[in-house]
Amino acid sequence: MEMRRHSHTWRQAERWLLQAYWLLCGYGLRASRALGWLAAAMITTIMLMVGFGLPNESPSQTATGTVPEGGGKVTFKIDKEDPSNPTGDRFTGERYQKALSVTLNSVIFRSSGQELTTAGTYIEMTYRLAEPVLLAFAGLAVRGRVKRGS
């Protein structure tokens, strides 16, 4: 793998892929490197969620309607405002707690159920792909180490 990574006869895309594989987990041999990248990705996700991903306040649903005279059918229209980015203090303890919950849920492909801004939705989608890959790299490295030991 190391010779292929340094070879100039391979196509550029394959060299970049091997370079990334080496950098992220040492060719599947270094679980600590993959776990380190996973921790860094989770911290980055938390910071991005706190800064841009969580709305200013949770949007509430309101129901409005009129009751016709003499009874009859009542129709309620429920509007929910789009989440908006905070304008004041973004980095609060409550926002860190929500961001941590969203991040931990994204590692295992679960939706957090938390209302997110548009930026937060894209941040969550990106890290829902990246973080489980890093977790899988760490698992493969541990598996390889256990198999070599026996």
Report pLDDT for 22: 80
For the whole model, what pTM was predicted? 0.66
Report pLDDT for 44: 93
Confirm if 4 and 18 have CB atoms less than 8 A apart: yes
Least confident of 8-17, 35-44, 66-75: 66-75
pLDDT grade for 112, boundaries at 50, 70 and 90: low
98 pLDDT above the threshold of 60? yes
Segment 5-17 mean pLDDT: 73
114-143 CB burial, b ≥16 within 10 A, e <16: bbbbebbeebbeebbebbeebbebbebbee
